[in-house]
Amino acid sequence: MPLSFRTPLAKLFFGAVPVLVLAGTWLVAKTAVDRLLYHDAVLTGRSWTAYLVENIKDLDDIAKGAKPSADSQAFFDRAQKAGQVFRCVIYDPAGHVRLVVDSLEKSADGRDEAKPKDAEERDAGAKKPDDDDDEDLAEHNPAAARAIALGQPLINAEEGEEPGRPEFFSEAYLPAIANGKTIAIVETYIDQTEKRNEFRRTSALMSGALLALIAIAFGAPGLAWLKRSNEKRRAEAHIRFLVDHDSLTGLINRNKLVDETSAALSELERTPERLALHHIDIDHFKDINDTLGHGAGDALLCGVARRLAKLASDHDRVARVGGDEFVLLQGRPASDGAIAATAAEIRRQLSSTYEVNGQTVNVSVSVGVAIAPVHGDTVVRLMKSAELALYDSKIAGRDGVSIFSNEMDEELAERLRLERAIRDALASDGFELYYQPVVEMPKSRLCGFEALLRMRDATGAIVSPALFIPLAEQMGLIDKIGEWVLREASRTAQAWPANLKVAVNLSPAQFARGELAARVERILAETGLAADRLELEITEGLLLSNSVDVLAELRKLKALGVSIVMDDFGTGHSSLSYLWRFPFDKIKIDRAFMLALEAEDRANAETIVKTIIDLGRSLNVTVTVEGVETVRQVDFVKAARCDQIQGYYFGRPMPQLDLAAYIATACLAELAAANEAAAPNRAPSDARPGLVGA
């Protein structure tokens, strides 16, 4: 764990270090001052002792008990008025007091009168002289004797306590040596008050400078290290947060929701309680992103997240599990009524007005509810049940609440079967391509095929593309499937006659992945198909999703030489606007108009189809009509001068194995028509080309 002020170890560390540094500095300074005072006392004592030896001629006699001479007494009187030494005691070599000179008592005469009170107290433990000793001798002083025995100075530091004494002084016992012989022990009382204050001031200045240098040398790097450590800690905490949370809303993400739902389901095994999983989706959120921009979409998502978090109780968890999808995991619901009431309140609170980047946005939400354990006793099953309930809510018209039912369970089972079939088909090359012919008018000449994706279930029956293609898109597999379709269709078409083209539908997912033009170019190179024989069909919905990027990619594709086709023209939102924004090579009129020709209001459908055909001709764009199935429909589009026709009338989608026979029949029919036209005396045949009714 990185060190920071928030950890107990860091608090102890950063609290103890300054104390240790200050204590260490104080100890070093005190030791230095004590050593300096000690050496000063030694030097002063030695100087004073040497001074006595040099100036007191009868020092040897005084040490033996004689009174000082007049010259010596005069010297002592002068010495009392100068220097640091304010008291002097002379001992004989055995440690007996012979003379006390005390400037504080103004006395220098003899043993008993001159001896100060503190000396008496200090010498109280000294032994009494024997009866046969001279009664004039003072008590024995062990300190003086010890100085002789050790052969070195003996220094005692004292704090002044009695009135008149210095604030701080030292006692120095030093031998007085004359002619190489110790003749006395001199105890000097040295006033070191000023010295101590001076040393302390100097030490304080040096300690302050030392601390300043330490602070400069270690403080700045320490603070920088601490800053980096805290930044690293915050970054690691943010990474840990992002592992379990959505970076935009701050809610827990799908992975964390799965973990917590799994833990909650485990608790249900030991209690009679239940869980409710509310799956919420913002209706038409994509339109908001497209019209107001992704910034507004993000702001709306944050607003929804805040409202949903306010609805949650202490037992609930709120997560963002997809782009515009949220989940409220309701813990400890009291009853089915409480669950339904919560779902209704979620819909009411979230389906409201939002202020998004200064604009008012009205949205609605759809809610799907699943209850554990009745609707699922595992995370996967419970979430699938809630998704199915949400899907049911959307089918019912959105802006509503749907609770999972047993009927939906069958849909879930079917969905799971389809998902497994899709994955198996992709893994084992189990998809197939069927080809529906496209016929050129007015001669009904075969000009190409549209490749249509097919898949079989476990029984071998073909699954409707309307079922498995949307599911493959939801599973995120349609891009891989689409690339397989492009490659397989190009490989197959490369073996056809050079005048036949192949059309392939593109999915928005293939554009979303990016670099589609580069992939198409690579596939054409691999299969050897000429670019002008490939038609790529897109729907208007793709252009609505991100028109700028899509149009840019379409221009790259067109630069390769392939044809770009707008499929299902006339049923979208803004078909006409894209005809002038991008030079499409072909537009395909949706089969819904052919169905409308069979209805009572067919006049309107006929007018629209004719208008689209005329528009295409004026723009020099090929027009193909889809869904042509009857003779009357063929006659109508011929009369409207349509360029191409596609539909059951000319052929249903067929597998690759049937293509060779169909193409051969078409070629023979075209050849027969050409021979018939070349025979001037032959009567025209009423028979339709061989493709008709194939």
451 close to 427: Cβ distance less than 8 angstroms: no
Q: Using 50, 70 and 90 to split pLDDT, how confident is the model at 684?
A: very low
Give the per-residue SS3 of 566-625.
Answer: EEEECCCCCHHHHHHHCCCCEEEECCHHHHHCCCCCHHHHHHHHHHHHHHHHHCCCEEEE
- Domain extent, residue 647, equals 420-666
Q: Quick one: pLDDT at residue 437?
A: 96
Separation of alpha carbons 10 and 663, rounded Å: 83
Q: Does residue 206 belong to any structural domain of this protein?
A: no
CA distance 410 to 352: 34
Q: What is the mean pLDDT of residues 130-152?
A: 57
Q: At CB < 8 A and 24+ separation, what contacts does 547-556 make?
A: 547/578, 547/581, 549/511, 550/511, 551/581, 551/582, 553/511, 553/516, 553/517, 554/582, 555/582, 556/516, 556/517
Report how far apart, in Å, the C-alpha atoms of 37 and of each of 26, 32, 44, 83 are: 16, 9, 10, 16
**Residues 557, 606 share a domain:** yes
Indicate if the pLDDT at residue 129 is higher than 90: no
Judge whether residue 140 has pLDDT over 90.
no
User: b/e for 177-211, b at 16 or more Cβ within 10 A?
Assistant: eeeeeebbbbbbbbbbeebbeebbeebeeebeeee
From the list 74, 102, 85, 65, the residue with the least C-alpha distance to 183 is: 65
Q: Who's near 549: CB < 8 A, 6+ residues apart?
A: 511
Residue 198 has what pLDDT? Answer: 84
Helices (H) and strands (E) in the chain, counts: 25, 22
Instruction: Determine, yes or no, domain membership for 229.
Output: no
Q: Determine the Cα–Cα distance for residues 590 and 584; give it in Å rounded to an integer.
A: 16
Dist. CA 406–CA 605, nearest whole Å: 43
**Could you tell me if 395 and 544 lie in one domain?**
no
The DSSP code for 216 is: I
Q: Which of 425, 412, 361 is nearest to 383 (CA)?
A: 412
Across the range 607-611, mean pLDDT stands at: 90
Mean pLDDT of 111-131: 38
Same domain, residue pair 314 and 185: no
Q: Are residues 567 and 593 in the same domain?
A: yes
Clarify whether residues 427 and 385 are in a common domain.
no
Of 149, 168, 197, the position where a domain reaches its end is: 197
Which of 91-105, 136-150, 328-342 ranks highest by mean pLDDT? 328-342
Q: Are residues 176 and 58 in the same domain?
A: yes
- Out of 343, 373, 404, a domain closes at 404
Q: How many structural domains comprise the chain?
A: 3
Q: To the nearest 10°, the Cα dihedral for 12, 15, 19, 20?
A: 40
Q: Are residues 394 and 441 in the same domain?
A: no
pLDDT band at residue 500 using 50, 70 and 90 as cut-offs = very high
Rg (CA), the chain: 54
Q: Are 403 and 389 in contact (CB under 8 A)?
A: yes
Residues 572 and 657 grouped into a single domain? yes
First to last CA, the chain: 76
- Look up the CATH number of the domain holding residue 496: 3.20.20.450
Confidence at residue 163, expressed as pLDDT on a 0 to 100 scale: 64
d(CA 294, CA 20): 57
Q: Is residue 583, in this structure, part of any structural domain at all? A: yes
**What gap in Å lies between CA 395 and CA 389, rounded to an integer?**
10
Looking at the structure, tell me whether residues 431 and 541 fall in a common domain.
yes
DSSP run (H or E) holding 355 = strand 353-356
In a domain, 409, yes or no: no
Q: What is the DSSP string of 329-342?
A: EEES---HHHHHHH
What dihedral do alpha carbons 537, 541, 545, 551 form, nearest 10°? 40
Of 9 and 194, which is predicted with more confidence? 194
Dihedral, 19, 23, 29, 31 alpha carbons, nearest 10? -170
User: Does position 682 have pLDDT exceeding 80, yes or no?
Assistant: no
Compare 130 and 536 and report the one with higher pLDDT.
536
CA 258 to chain centre: 20
Determine the pLDDT at residue 572: 61
Nearest to 481 by CA among 537, 430, 414: 430
- 293 Ramachandran zone, left/alpha/beta (phi>0; psi -120 to 50): left
Report pLDDT digits (tens) over 274-317. 899 999 999 989 888 878 888 899 999 999 999 999 999 988 99
> How is residue 15 written in tokens?
């609290």
CA-CA distance, 564 to 585, in Å (whole number)? 5
Is residue 691 assigned to a domain? Answer: no
Mean pLDDT of 466-484: 89
For 522-545, write each residue's pLDDT tens digit. Answer: 999 999 999 999 999 998 777 765
Res. 689 pLDDT band, cuts 50 70 90 = very low
Tokens of 208: 């302050």
Nearest CA to 592 out of 578, 616, 609 is that of: 609
Q: Which helix (H) or strand (E) holds 655?
A: strand 654-655
pLDDT value at residue 570? 73
Cα–Cα distance, 39 to 111 (Å, whole number)? 30
Residue 514 inside a domain? The answer is yes
The rounded distance, in Å, linking the Cα atoms of 105 and 112 is: 13
Q: Which of 161, 181, 197 is the last residue of a domain?
A: 197
- 389 and 457, same domain (yes or no): no
pLDDT tens digits, residue range 356-387?
888 889 999 999 999 999 998 899 999 989 99
CB under 8 Å to 108, separation ≥6 — which residues?
Answer: 68, 73, 76, 77, 80, 99, 100, 101, 102, 114
Task: State whether residue 370 is helix, strand or coil.
Answer: strand
Other CB atoms within 10 Å distance of the CB of residue 284: 13
DSSP 483-512: HHHHHHHHHHHTTS-TT-EEEEE--HHHHH
- Confidence at residue 545, expressed as pLDDT on a 0 to 100 scale: 59
Answer whether residue 197 shows pLDDT above 70.
Answer: yes
CATH number, position 387: 3.30.70.270
The rounded mean pLDDT for the chain is 82
Report the distance separating Cα 589 and Cα 572, nearest Å.
Answer: 11
pTM of the model: 0.52
Residue 249 located in a structural domain: no
Query: With contact defined as beta carbons under 8 Å apart, do 482 and 507 qualify?
Result: yes
Q: Write the CB contacts of 165 (distance below 8 Å, at least 6 apart in sequence).
A: 104
Looking at the structure, do residues 164 and 275 belong to the same domain, yes or no?
no
Is the Cβ–Cβ distance between 144 and 100 less than 8 Å?
no
If asked whether residues 571 and 447 sit together in one domain, one would say: yes
In this structure, is residue 325 part of a structural domain? yes
Question: Is 427 exposed, middle or buried, given 0-12, 13-18 or 19+ CB atoms closer than 10 A?
Answer: exposed
Instruction: List pLDDT tens digits, range 13-32.
Output: 556 777 777 777 788 877 88
Q: Give tens-digit pLDDT for 162-189.
A: 666 777 777 888 888 878 788 888 888 8
